[in-house]
Amino acid sequence: MKGDNIARRLRYLASQVIKLCRKLPRDSTCRHIGNQLVRAASGGGSNYEEARASESRADFIHKVSVATKELRESLYWLVLAQDAELFDTSVEALVQEANELVAILTSSVKTAKYGVQRRGAEHLLLKNSECRNTEIQKL
């Protein structure tokens, strides 16, 4: 089904983030960062799933845009935690995967928006053409 690969990658990213955050120390700072990171990483996938079941192109664009924003937020928390040396392992692979998913979803939104704009322009051209034909018939 269309979008299965992206959905699978988003689930994988979220599951790896969950595993990583389970290993964080239990102090209040790490709990806060871990909660934010898990929420944002899992939010990207859940919003993408909602987009796959969207009722309109506009709904799709909105939900994929929200998914993209969640992934960008998860990148922020991942890099912050890495900079603060909270992880005992490298998260570069997760950062790269999140960046790739942001690029894919951003491209998807642009493509969907282009389709809306193109259809709107085609509609206007058709409408203008119909108006001209009516004017010609009156002559």
pLDDT tens by residue, 52-102: 999 999 999 999 999 999 999 999 999 999 999 999 999 999 999 999 999
**The model scores a pTM over 0.95:** no
Using CA atoms, how far apart are residues 5 and 138, in angstroms rounded to an integer? 56
Q: Where are the alpha helices (DSSP H) in the chain?
A: 4-22, 28-52, 57-83, 92-138
Using CA atoms, how far apart are residues 94 and 17, in angstroms rounded to an integer? 8
At 51 the pLDDT is 97
At 10 the pLDDT is 98
Q: Which domain holds residue 85?
A: 4-138
How many structural domains are present in the chain? 1
CATH number assigned to the domain comprising residue 53: 1.20.1440.60
